[in-house]
A and B are shown apart, each in its own frame.
Chain A
Amino acid sequence: MNNTKLTVSHAPFWHDGDSLFKKNLNFILALLPAAIFGILQFGAPALGVLALSLSSAMLWEQIINMISKKPSTIGDLDSALIGLLFGMMLPAVIPWWVVVVGTFVAVFMGKMIFGGTGANPFNPALLGMAVLMLAWNMFFDFNTAYVNYEFSFTALAPLAAVKFQGAATELFPLNDLFMGKEVGAIGATFSLGLIIGGIYLILRGYIRWELSVSFIAGILVTAFLFYMASPQKYAGPWFHLFSGYTMLGAFFLITESASSPVQRIPMFIYGFLAGFMIILMRNIGTYADGTILAILLVNVVNPLLDNIRPTALGKDMSNA
């Protein structure tokens, strides 16, 4: 025992055992129901897109780490999650290079240039999506993407159909939307699966219910107000809730931790604001779905919001 070298470190000497790896792994698990549904619905191309997206995102992080001579960090699965989320927002039919460019933008511009995992001011997957949509909007038309498919339901992307083609929302029964019987991105259509995954993450403490609930409230309240103003012109709140990226947004996009607040009231404001902006964009903007841009926009106000917080112990003393 005489010269035994001991491990010396600072307190605390216990840890609750959680880690980035576990957090991201749980996210990926929670995404699986919706992802598998997408693969079943849209077939092998969907599987191809998801696999390519996930693997290329991890590869980009590895390459960037190697170039910048940093230790490898892909083991914590952060890029894997970005890749999977990104892939799930894409249509099943899309050129492979769009996927690879997209994950590059997401991983490199989305997080690596800011200093890696946790330092991203924006949701990386959304940043990747936004850049692609600005550059190659034609690949994101869900109607043309699936021309060669035969579906048992209305083969029109609900949001675009209602907004641009003036289709009646009756074409899209809520039940169908809820069960994923709609045209859309690989992983965004199966609302039920996303909700199950989301609730799982909330219960495990990996995402904050405050964000999801206020986001959904933002969507419902705003859409309801529009609908009340003009039921002919605007779709109802439940239609908005179960179409487009809404459910993916509510549980997996708005909840991205680095770009969202952590204090309770700010979380409520943040989530509600995002929901509100999405409906504004859908109803009066030029985009069919505003989820991506709306969340990126609230990412910008996030740092301001977290200033609303409780006074720390011993700070509100008049004599201090």
Chain B
Amino acid sequence: MIKRSFFALSKPGLTCDLLEPDPEAPQKIDVPALLTLLLPEPLDGSRDVLIQKGDPVKKGQKLQLYEDSIDYAVSPVSGTIKSIDTFTADDFSGLRTRIAIEKDTQATDQIEYPEMKHELSFAARHLNHLPGAPPFARLARTEVPVNSLIIMVSDTDLLTTTSQYMGTVHAATLQKGVQILKQITKVPKIYLVLPDRLQDRVRFDSMTLLPARLEYPETLPAMIMKNHLDKILPAGKTPEEMGICYIRAEAVVSLARAFETNAPVFEKCITLIDKTGTRHRVEAVIGTPLGQIFSQLGIQINELDRVVIGGPMQGFATFTPHHPVTPDMDTILVQDRKTITPLSDNNCVNCGKCIQVCPADIPVNLLVRFLQAAQYEAAADKCDLESCIDCGLCAYVCTAHIALSQYIRLGKHELQKLRTDV
């Protein structure tokens, strides 16, 4: 963990990690006997579900809850569905459904995969699950047409190098993927964000390169828009609402591989940072429980340790080491309980450190007072709640150890509810 420097006149220097020279190939994690696939859609008790406990599934079979479901998973193995249930996700995204599949070790058959088509609707129906979570579902929606596609060969959060690895080591495949992407999406502008310090290590042709500095939060989507595209993200809007879509390098590589083999891809590349801060690069099949990765790497998880999915600034802590690998899981951070800084219920002491670090110029010291008093509309009107880009820096520096990010997240959530109620 990067601590405050002794002399602290300047901002904290949090820098995203740079991919090491000559990166090693990821360590392969064995396909486990029991896999779990997640769907963002909850079970609806009043409707008939398409898939049932006990159903046999084949490798490559598409699993969705209802005929009209947009979300689906694709089974990475052949076997049997052991259970389907809905649970509350640990990243505040609401209810989700998990499908547990027991692998049949004998089965070698796999589903006949439909012929790959260079069509967006095809991609949305068949390729959403690819490692790297390509945003085809979003691209297929047409209310706000996407006019810029930004391929991220840079990682947004600290510590992780997954996107850099996938983008540079597989640069040739990535280029092929970009061609397919162009044909599928017909988006006029495609950019590629590359850490400036990787520029001389890899070449990309016929794409506009956006060299990103590694200083956090320069790597976040809103900052890339601001610094490179000269577009300010309006408060409360997402880049997607502005017609800008970000896509991970890994998603583009997976796309190219899927077209190459005419088969789905399930191997997800993950950067794992263990308790000692050592970085491991692993490749695990989507649905693999994290526990399997930990035991294969010899990482001991003890009571009250913290397992973070995503980076230290923007990830979320999972409550169970059974959490499966998902298509968008770039990073796993394991923290020893001893290194966890406790939060407090202190008041803000107005030290102003948050003001100095906030990239969105939000008066966090005032904002937190409104949020603590549950005045969400005032927080948005007077203190720019919606301008926050969730970088987490304010909470990282807060002298009073206030759970600022949590308040902000909750505030945005409640505000949304208030607005939709009206």
Q: List residues of A whose CB falls within 8 A of some B CB.
A: 1, 4-20, 23, 76, 115-119, 202-206, 208-209, 257-260, 262-263, 306, 309-317, 319-320
Q: Which residues of A contact B291 (CB under 8 A)?
A: 1
Interface bin, chain B:
35 or more
Per the 8 Å Cβ criterion, residues 160-190 of B in contact with A are none
Q: List residues of B whose CB falls within 8 A of some A CB.
A: 1-4, 6-9, 12, 90, 158, 222, 226, 232-237, 291, 294-295, 301-308, 310, 312-321, 333, 335, 337, 340-341, 343, 346-353, 355, 359-363, 365-366, 384, 386-387, 389, 392-393, 395-401, 403, 405-406, 409
Say whether A11 contacts B337, CB under 8 Å: no
14 contacts between A and B (CB under 8 A): A6-B317, A8-B90, A8-B306, A12-B312, A15-B395, A17-B1, A19-B401, A20-B399, A116-B346, A118-B349, A306-B366, A312-B363, A313-B359, A317-B234
Say whether A310 contacts B405, CB under 8 Å: no
Residue in B350, B361, B405, B409 with the greatest tally of chain A CB atoms within 10 Å: B350
The verdict on A10 contacting B405 (CB below 8 Å), with A116-B347, A313-B232 known, is yes
The verdict on A13 contacting B350 (CB below 8 Å), with A20-B400, A205-B7, A313-B226 known, is no
Q: What's the Cα separation between A11 and B310 when bound, in Å?
A: 10
Q: Which residues of B contact A259 (CB under 8 A)?
A: 350
Contact partner of B2 (CB less than 8 A), chosen from A14, A115, A319, is: A14
Contact partner of B350 (CB less than 8 A), chosen from A7, A12, A257, is: A257
The verdict on A117 contacting B347 (CB below 8 Å), with A12-B312, A13-B308, A313-B360 known, is yes
The verdict on A309 contacting B363 (CB below 8 Å), with A12-B314, A117-B349, A118-B349 known, is yes
Q: Which residues of B contact A260 (CB under 8 A)?
A: 350
Contact partner of A7 (CB less than 8 A), chosen from B306, B392, B406, is: B306
Say whether A14 contacts B396, CB under 8 Å: yes
Q: Which residues of A contact B1 (CB under 8 A)?
A: 14-15, 17
Smallest CB-CB A-B distances: 7 pairs: A205-B8, A262-B352, A118-B347, A312-B384, A313-B360, A12-B392, A10-B406
Q: Which residues of B contact A14 (CB under 8 A)?
A: 1-2, 158, 312-313, 341, 396
Say whether B405 contacts A12, CB under 8 Å: yes
Say whether B237 contacts A314, CB under 8 Å: yes
Q: What's the Cα separation between A1 and B290 when bound, in Å?
A: 11
Say whether A320 contacts B234, CB under 8 Å: yes
Q: Which residues of A contact B333 (CB under 8 A)?
A: 13
Q: In the complex, given contacts A9-B403, A205-B9, what are 17 additional A-B residue pairs having Cβ atoms less than 8 angstroms apart?
A: A6-B307, A6-B318, A7-B335, A9-B306, A9-B343, A11-B316, A12-B312, A12-B314, A12-B405, A13-B306, A13-B333, A15-B395, A20-B400, A117-B347, A118-B400, A257-B352, A262-B351
Q: Which residues of A contact B403 (CB under 8 A)?
A: 9-10
Say whether A315 contacts B340, CB under 8 Å: no
The verdict on A312 contacting B362 (CB below 8 Å), with A6-B306, A8-B318 known, is yes
Say whether A13 contacts B321, CB under 8 Å: no
Say whether A263 contacts B355, CB under 8 Å: yes
Say whether B313 contacts A8, CB under 8 Å: no
Say whether A13 contacts B235, CB under 8 Å: no
The verdict on A4 contacting B384 (CB below 8 Å), with A16-B396, A116-B347 known, is no
Say whether A118 contacts B312, CB under 8 Å: no
